[in-house]
Protein backbone atom coordinates (compact mmCIF):
# COMPACT_ATOMS: atom_id res chain seq x y z
CA UNK A 1 0.00 0.00 0.00
CA UNK A 2 1.35 3.42 -0.94
CA UNK A 3 1.07 6.37 1.42
CA UNK A 4 1.23 9.20 -1.13
CA UNK A 5 -1.33 10.22 -3.77
CA UNK A 6 0.00 10.28 -7.32
CA UNK A 7 0.07 14.09 -7.36
CA UNK A 8 2.42 14.24 -4.36
CA UNK A 9 4.61 11.22 -5.10
CA UNK A 10 7.77 11.50 -7.22
CA UNK A 11 8.08 9.13 -10.13
CA UNK A 12 11.86 8.95 -9.91
CA UNK A 13 14.04 9.31 -6.80
CA UNK A 14 17.84 9.40 -7.03
CA UNK A 15 20.17 9.06 -4.06
CA UNK A 16 23.80 10.04 -3.48
CA UNK A 17 24.79 7.51 -0.83
CA UNK A 18 27.44 9.41 1.10
CA UNK A 19 29.10 8.91 4.46
CA UNK A 20 30.15 5.26 4.68
CA UNK A 21 33.76 6.11 5.47
CA UNK A 22 32.87 8.74 8.05
CA UNK A 23 30.44 6.34 9.70
CA UNK A 24 33.24 3.80 10.11
CA UNK A 25 35.85 6.37 11.21
CA UNK A 26 33.50 7.71 13.88
CA UNK A 27 33.38 4.22 15.36
CA UNK A 28 37.08 3.48 15.07
CA UNK A 29 36.46 0.95 12.28
CA UNK A 30 38.07 0.39 8.90
CA UNK A 31 36.37 2.23 6.01
CA UNK A 32 35.37 -1.01 4.32
CA UNK A 33 33.16 -1.87 7.29
CA UNK A 34 31.28 1.35 6.65
CA UNK A 35 30.69 0.29 3.05
CA UNK A 36 29.46 -3.11 4.22
CA UNK A 37 27.05 -1.43 6.62
CA UNK A 38 25.95 0.79 3.74
CA UNK A 39 24.84 -2.30 1.81
CA UNK A 40 22.23 -2.91 4.51
CA UNK A 41 20.94 0.63 3.94
CA UNK A 42 20.68 -0.10 0.21
CA UNK A 43 18.51 -3.12 0.96
CA UNK A 44 16.23 -1.08 3.25
CA UNK A 45 15.95 1.68 0.68
CA UNK A 46 15.02 -0.55 -2.23
CA UNK A 47 12.27 -2.13 -0.13
CA UNK A 48 11.01 1.30 0.99
CA UNK A 49 11.01 2.58 -2.59
CA UNK A 50 8.95 -0.38 -3.74
CA UNK A 51 6.54 0.18 -0.86
CA UNK A 52 6.20 3.88 -1.70
CA UNK A 53 4.94 3.24 -5.21
CA UNK A 54 7.60 5.24 -7.07
CA UNK A 55 8.59 3.97 -10.48
CA UNK A 56 12.35 4.53 -10.53
CA UNK A 57 15.14 4.53 -7.93
CA UNK A 58 18.68 5.51 -8.93
CA UNK A 59 21.52 4.84 -6.51
CA UNK A 60 25.00 6.36 -6.94
CA UNK A 61 27.15 3.35 -6.07
CA UNK A 62 30.56 4.32 -7.48
CA UNK A 63 31.61 7.48 -9.28
CA UNK A 64 34.25 7.77 -11.99
CA UNK A 65 36.25 9.85 -9.47
CA UNK A 66 36.22 7.07 -6.87
CA UNK A 67 39.02 5.26 -8.71
CA UNK A 68 41.35 7.69 -6.90
CA UNK A 69 40.72 5.84 -3.64
CA UNK A 70 43.11 3.13 -2.33
CA UNK A 71 43.11 0.04 -4.54
CA UNK A 72 42.03 -2.32 -1.75
CA UNK A 73 39.02 -0.13 -0.95
CA UNK A 74 38.02 0.06 -4.62
CA UNK A 75 38.30 -3.72 -4.98
CA UNK A 76 36.20 -4.27 -1.87
CA UNK A 77 33.49 -1.90 -3.12
CA UNK A 78 33.36 -3.64 -6.49
CA UNK A 79 33.16 -7.03 -4.83
CA UNK A 80 30.32 -5.83 -2.61
CA UNK A 81 28.35 -4.44 -5.57
CA UNK A 82 28.69 -7.75 -7.42
CA UNK A 83 27.83 -9.81 -4.34
CA UNK A 84 24.79 -7.70 -3.51
CA UNK A 85 23.40 -8.07 -7.04
CA UNK A 86 24.04 -11.82 -7.07
CA UNK A 87 22.42 -12.39 -3.67
CA UNK A 88 19.39 -10.15 -4.20
CA UNK A 89 18.68 -10.74 -7.88
CA UNK A 90 16.19 -13.60 -7.60
CA UNK A 91 14.40 -11.98 -4.68
CA UNK A 92 13.93 -8.72 -6.56
CA UNK A 93 13.04 -10.58 -9.74
CA UNK A 94 10.21 -12.31 -7.89
CA UNK A 95 9.06 -8.88 -6.75
CA UNK A 96 8.83 -7.78 -10.40
CA UNK A 97 11.68 -5.25 -10.10
CA UNK A 98 13.85 -4.30 -13.04
CA UNK A 99 17.58 -3.51 -12.85
CA UNK A 100 19.49 -1.16 -15.08
CA UNK A 101 23.06 0.15 -14.95
CA UNK A 102 24.33 3.58 -15.95
CA UNK A 103 27.98 4.54 -16.22
CA UNK A 104 31.02 3.65 -18.29
CA UNK A 105 31.10 -0.12 -18.63
CA UNK A 106 34.47 -0.38 -20.31
CA UNK A 107 36.28 0.56 -17.11
CA UNK A 108 34.74 -2.17 -14.96
CA UNK A 109 36.17 -5.56 -14.10
CA UNK A 110 34.44 -8.70 -15.38
CA UNK A 111 33.03 -9.77 -12.00
CA UNK A 112 30.98 -6.66 -11.31
CA UNK A 113 30.13 -6.07 -14.98
CA UNK A 114 28.84 -9.63 -15.45
CA UNK A 115 26.71 -9.33 -12.30
CA UNK A 116 25.16 -6.05 -13.41
CA UNK A 117 24.55 -7.14 -17.00
CA UNK A 118 23.10 -10.48 -15.87
CA UNK A 119 20.68 -8.57 -13.64
CA UNK A 120 19.66 -6.37 -16.56
CA UNK A 121 18.95 -9.38 -18.77
CA UNK A 122 17.18 -11.38 -16.05
CA UNK A 123 14.79 -8.57 -15.11
CA UNK A 124 14.34 -6.71 -18.40
CA UNK A 125 10.70 -7.76 -18.84
CA UNK A 126 9.64 -6.87 -15.29
CA UNK A 127 7.22 -3.99 -14.84
CA UNK A 128 7.61 -2.94 -11.20
CA UNK A 129 10.16 -0.64 -9.60
CA UNK A 130 13.18 0.04 -11.81
CA UNK A 131 16.40 0.11 -9.78
CA UNK A 132 19.16 2.00 -11.59
CA UNK A 133 22.69 1.44 -10.30
CA UNK A 134 25.21 4.16 -11.22
CA UNK A 135 28.66 2.52 -11.35
CA UNK A 136 31.78 4.17 -12.80
CA UNK A 137 29.45 7.07 -13.49
CA UNK A 138 30.23 10.75 -14.00
CA UNK A 139 27.74 13.22 -15.43
CA UNK A 140 30.27 15.29 -17.39
CA UNK A 141 31.68 12.19 -19.08
CA UNK A 142 28.14 10.99 -19.83
CA UNK A 143 27.25 14.30 -21.51
CA UNK A 144 30.53 14.27 -23.44
CA UNK A 145 29.82 10.73 -24.71
CA UNK A 146 26.34 11.78 -25.83
CA UNK A 147 27.71 14.87 -27.62
CA UNK A 148 30.39 12.78 -29.33
CA UNK A 149 27.78 10.30 -30.56
CA UNK A 150 25.71 13.11 -32.05
CA UNK A 151 28.84 14.63 -33.61
CA UNK A 152 29.65 11.30 -35.28
CA UNK A 153 26.13 11.06 -36.70
CA UNK A 154 26.34 14.63 -37.96
CA UNK A 155 29.72 13.95 -39.59
CA UNK A 156 28.24 10.86 -41.26
CA UNK A 157 25.36 12.90 -42.64
CA UNK A 158 22.75 11.03 -40.59
CA UNK A 159 21.57 14.23 -38.90
CA UNK A 160 22.07 17.93 -39.54
CA UNK A 161 23.87 19.87 -36.79
CA UNK A 162 20.96 22.30 -36.59
CA UNK A 163 18.62 19.41 -35.78
CA UNK A 164 20.38 18.66 -32.51
CA UNK A 165 18.23 19.73 -29.58
CA UNK A 166 17.78 18.89 -25.89
CA UNK A 167 15.56 15.89 -26.59
CA UNK A 168 18.08 14.43 -29.03
CA UNK A 169 20.93 14.77 -26.55
CA UNK A 170 18.79 13.30 -23.75
CA UNK A 171 18.18 10.30 -25.98
CA UNK A 172 21.92 9.60 -26.12
CA UNK A 173 22.50 9.74 -22.37
CA UNK A 174 22.88 6.61 -20.25
CA UNK A 175 19.40 7.32 -18.88
CA UNK A 176 17.64 7.33 -22.26
CA UNK A 177 14.06 6.19 -21.77
CA UNK A 178 14.12 6.93 -18.02
CA UNK A 179 12.28 10.01 -16.71
CA UNK A 180 14.41 12.69 -15.10
CA UNK A 181 14.61 12.44 -11.30
CA UNK A 182 11.96 14.43 -9.49
CA UNK A 183 13.88 14.20 -6.22
CA UNK A 184 17.60 13.84 -5.48
CA UNK A 185 18.56 12.92 -1.92
CA UNK A 186 22.07 13.21 -0.52
CA UNK A 187 23.15 11.95 2.87
CA UNK A 188 26.08 12.99 5.14
CA UNK A 189 25.28 16.71 5.24
CA UNK A 190 27.17 17.57 2.06
CA UNK A 191 25.22 19.92 -0.22
CA UNK A 192 26.37 19.34 -3.79
CA UNK A 193 25.62 17.01 -6.69
CA UNK A 194 29.22 15.79 -7.14
CA UNK A 195 28.92 15.18 -10.88
CA UNK A 196 25.72 13.14 -10.52
CA UNK A 197 22.85 13.43 -13.04
CA UNK A 198 23.72 17.04 -13.78
CA UNK A 199 21.71 17.16 -17.02
CA UNK A 200 18.81 15.10 -15.76
CA UNK A 201 18.68 16.91 -12.41
CA UNK A 202 18.21 20.39 -13.84
CA UNK A 203 14.78 20.71 -12.21
CA UNK A 204 15.02 18.06 -9.51
CA UNK A 205 14.05 18.90 -5.96
CA UNK A 206 17.09 18.49 -3.70
CA UNK A 207 16.96 17.15 -0.15
CA UNK A 208 20.21 17.14 1.85
CA UNK A 209 20.17 15.03 4.99
CA UNK A 210 22.61 15.09 7.92
CA UNK A 211 22.55 11.32 8.50
CA UNK A 212 25.38 9.16 7.20
CA UNK A 213 24.40 6.57 4.62
CA UNK A 214 24.66 3.45 6.85
CA UNK A 215 22.06 5.06 9.14
CA UNK A 216 19.60 5.72 6.30
CA UNK A 217 16.31 4.01 7.04
CA UNK A 218 12.82 3.43 5.72
CA UNK A 219 11.52 6.22 7.96
CA UNK A 220 14.13 8.69 6.70
CA UNK A 221 13.26 7.77 3.10
CA UNK A 222 9.59 8.50 3.72
CA UNK A 223 10.47 11.74 5.52
CA UNK A 224 12.29 12.84 2.35
CA UNK A 225 9.18 12.00 0.32
CA UNK A 226 7.13 14.05 2.77
CA UNK A 227 9.48 16.99 2.19
CA UNK A 228 9.11 16.55 -1.57
CA UNK A 229 5.32 16.56 -1.25
CA UNK A 230 5.50 19.97 0.48
CA UNK A 231 7.48 21.54 -2.37
CA UNK A 232 5.93 23.59 -5.20
CA UNK A 233 7.52 22.70 -8.53
CA UNK A 234 7.21 25.52 -11.10
CA UNK A 235 9.82 24.56 -13.75
CA UNK A 236 10.55 28.25 -14.38
CA UNK A 237 6.88 29.27 -14.44
CA UNK A 238 4.56 30.79 -11.85
CA UNK A 239 2.03 29.19 -9.56
CA UNK A 240 -1.55 30.13 -10.27
CA UNK A 241 -2.77 32.72 -7.76
CA UNK A 242 -6.39 32.72 -6.52
CA UNK A 243 -8.55 35.23 -8.36
CA UNK A 244 -9.29 38.34 -6.27
CA UNK A 245 -12.61 38.91 -8.03
CA UNK A 246 -13.96 35.38 -8.04
CA UNK A 247 -12.25 34.06 -4.95
CA UNK A 248 -11.35 30.91 -6.90
Average confidence score pLDDT of the chain: 93
pTM of the model: 0.91
33-85 confidence digits (pLDDT tens): 999 999 999 999 999 999 999 999 999 999 999 999 999 999 999 999 999 99
Summarize pLDDT for 3-27 with one digit per residue, the tens: 555 668 999 999 999 999 999 999 9
Report CA 164 to chain centroid distance, whole Å.
Answer: 26
Let me know if 195 is a catalytic residue. no
Which element (helix H / strand E) includes 225?
helix 218-230
> Any catalytic annotation for residue 76?
no
Marked catalytic residue, from 47, 66, 153, 180:
66
| Contact residues for 131 (Cβ-Cβ < 8 A; gap 6+) | 46, 49, 57, 59, 92, 97, 98, 99, 100
Confidence of residue 245 (pLDDT cuts 50, 70, 90): very low
In the chain the domains, ranked by start, together with CATH numbers, are: 8-229 (3.40.1180.10)
Residues flagged as binding site for substrate? 19-23, 31, 35, 63-65, 67, 69, 186, 192-194
What confidence score (pLDDT) does residue 233 get? 74
The answer to whether 18 and 191 are in contact (CB under 8 A) is: no
Amino acid sequence: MTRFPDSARPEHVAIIMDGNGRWAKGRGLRRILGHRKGVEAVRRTVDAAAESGIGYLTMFAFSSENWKRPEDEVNDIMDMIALFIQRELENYHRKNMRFRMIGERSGLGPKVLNALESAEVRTRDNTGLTVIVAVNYGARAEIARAAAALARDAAAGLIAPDEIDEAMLSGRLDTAGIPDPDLIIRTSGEQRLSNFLMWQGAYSELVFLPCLWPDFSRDIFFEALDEYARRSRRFGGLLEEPSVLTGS
